[in-house]
Amino acid sequence: MAAGGGELTAPPRPGVRRAVAGALHRRPRLRLSLLLSAPLVWLVVAYLGSLAALFLSAFWTTDPFTSDLVRTWTTANFSDVLTTPVYWHVALRTVGTALGVTLIDVVVAFPIAFYTARVAHPRYRHLLMVAVLTPLWASYLAKAYAWRILLSADGPLDWALKPFGLSGPGYGLPAVVVLLAYLWLPYMILPIHVGLAQLPDGLLEASADLGARSWRTFRSVVLPLVLPSVAAGSVFTFSLSLGDYIAVQIVGGKTELIGNVVYANITLNLPLAAALGTVPVAVIVLYLLAVRRTGTPGTL
């Protein structure tokens, strides 16, 4: 700003640049269309267009011999998805996994967020949040790989549990749930931390003045007020779990979730994969609508 100080007070100079600047200044619509044209081409035409085309291709079919797309309108893929018991099992298992992951994250995240937002010394609160959120940027695969090592047969977990006569869960559905819960944990901690930090002290004091002990205050005042934050965090943990197919391949053993089934069908039967792909999207949309009813701020 300082460098431009001299120029700012200079008298207006005629010239093309000045004329363009004036024209832009007088025409907010022109400015807006200049700002938006490139992003809109990218996001609406390229991205939404691809999504729409994908959804459309769910109504097509493939040649059984060549696996080439045949562009005839049919709802067979959707009725396949809805009437095949295997797909129902996989879908239910996936939703169950996502709910389990969300539940674990709420239980683990709450005490951490409560500590970072209300118990820790104010000077260390920010630092603690940085410590919690930094792993969010650590590689997904490195984290998944860490759990693959941790849960391997005779691996670190087995070694640590051996003195107690126990062993780890090994690879399988429980391992998938644990890994996903680990991966998405920061997504749950941050909203709860923010929600708790914003609680007015007055409400807690009023509750104490009225004779409520900690637990009662927690149950009757804190919990209802922080519920929207929990719901906000659950949107992340739930929808991120729903579409994941990498974690399953790394620690899932033979477990199949909807993402794997979609993946397995892509090369040979894209229309079926597309129809299957609408399942997690539909569930996510339903979940978002349900969460919105609980009064989560619409900023997400």
Partner 1 sequence: MRLSRPARIILRTAAAAGLAVIYVPLLLVVVNSLNADRTFGWPPTRVTTRWWTAAWHSQGARSALWVSVRAGLGATAIALVLGTLVAFAVHRHRFFGRRTLSFLVVLPIALPGIVTGIALNSAFRSVLPPLGLGFGLLTVIIGHATFCVVIVFNNVLARLRRFPGSYEEAAMDLGADTFQVFRDITWPLVRSSVLVGALLAFALSFDEIVVTTFTAGAGVQTLPVWIFGNMARPQQAPVVNVVAAVLVLVSVLPVYAAQRLSGDTASGGRI
Site for partner 1 in 249-278 (CB under 8 A): 250, 259, 262-263, 266, 270, 273-274, 277
Q: Which of 70, 82, 92, 131 binds partner 1 (CB under 8 A)?
A: 131
In the complex, least distance from residue 164 CB atom to partner 1, rounded to whole angstroms: 16
Tokens 């049919």 correspond to 74
In the complex, least distance from residue 167 CB atom to partner 1, rounded to whole angstroms: 13
Return the number of the residue (173 or 244) whose C-beta is nearest partner 1: 244
Distances (CA, A) of 67 to 21, 70, 261: 56, 9, 17
* Residues whose CB is less than 8 angstroms from the CB of residue 273 and which lie 6 or more positions away in sequence, other chains included: 262, 263, 265, 266
Closest among 242, 251, 231 to 296, alpha carbons compared: 231
Stretch that binds partner 1, among 74-82, 85-93, 163-171, 240-248 (CB under 8 A): 240-248
Stretch that binds partner 1, among 72-80, 166-174, 185-193, 289-297 (CB under 8 A): 185-193
In the complex, least distance from residue 295 CB atom to partner 1, rounded to whole angstroms: 18
Record the tokens describing residue 298, joined without a space: 């619409």
Return the number of the residue (99 or 240) whose C-beta is nearest partner 1: 240
Return the number of the residue (75 or 214) whose C-beta is nearest partner 1: 214
Among residue numbers 210 through 239, which ones bind partner 1 (CB under 8 A)? 213-214, 217-218, 222, 236, 239
Count, residues near partner 1 per rule CB under 8 A: 105
CB-neighbour burial class of residue 212 (10 A; exposed 0-12, middle 13-18, buried 19+): middle
Torsion angles phi and psi, residue 85, rounded to 5:
-55, -35
Q: From the centroid of its chain, how far is CA 2?
A: 43
Q: How far apart are the first and last CA of the chain?
A: 34
Return the number of the residue (51 or 82) whose C-beta is nearest partner 1: 51
Among residue numbers 191 through 210, which ones bind partner 1 (CB under 8 A)? 191, 204, 207-208
Q: Does 47 bind partner 1 (CB under 8 A)?
A: yes
Record the tokens describing residue 150, joined without a space: 């941790």
